[in-house]
């Protein structure tokens, strides 16, 4: 199992292992090959809840925008490799909105606060 390229699909024939639940088998896998725990958990979720729970919905900014208001902002939780800024810039152009962006790092809090205060007055959008 340890040397297997797909240990999350490896079947152990030991009687004690066969008595474990699917979740307990994932715990054993996590102890032996922590790098393969995520694919095993994904398979577990698909098997027990369905593929809808592991497949992200399509990114449709116009549809998402309908759910926002002037006091309900859009919040994007990003995963590695995702960057919705290009979509947001194009969408802002279609809505005739100006976007001000600031990367939140050390010392940027004051700049971000000023942009937000300005946006409250002008109706601009702020990306943090």
Average pLDDT over residues 36-43: 91
Spatial separation of the C-alpha atoms in residues 61 and 12, rounded to whole Å:
46
93 CB-near residues (< 8 Å, 6+ apart) = none
pTM score, whole prediction: 0.54
User: Which residue is listed with tokens 């790092």?
Assistant: 105
Average pLDDT over residues 96-113: 89
Using DSSP's 3-state secondary structure scheme, residue 5 falls into coil
Confidence of residue 7 (pLDDT cuts 50, 70, 90): low
Taking the alpha carbons at both ends of the chain, their separation in whole angstroms is 45
Report whether pLDDT(23) > 80.
yes
Spatial separation of the C-alpha atoms in residues 127 and 80, rounded to whole Å:
18
Spatial separation of the C-alpha atoms in residues 93 and 104, rounded to whole Å:
23
Ranking 8-12, 73-77, 92-96, 118-122 by mean pLDDT, the lowest is 8-12
């Amino acid at each position: 199992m340890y040397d297997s390229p797909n240990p999350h699909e490896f079947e152990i024939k030991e009687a004690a292992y066969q008595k474990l639940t699917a979740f307990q088998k994932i715990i054993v896998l996590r102890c032996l090959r922590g790098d393969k725990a995520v694919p095993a958990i994904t398979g577990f979720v698909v098997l027990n809840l369905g593929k809808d729970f592991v497949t992200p919905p399509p990114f449709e900014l116009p549809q998402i925008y309908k759910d926002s208001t002037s006091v309900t902002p859009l919040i994007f939780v990003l995963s590695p490799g995702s960057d919705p800024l290009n979509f947001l810039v194009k969408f802002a152009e279609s809505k005739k909105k100006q976007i001000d962006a600031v990367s939140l790092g050390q010392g940027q809090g004051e700049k971000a606060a000023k942009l937000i205060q300005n946006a409250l007055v002008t109706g601009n959008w702020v990306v943090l």
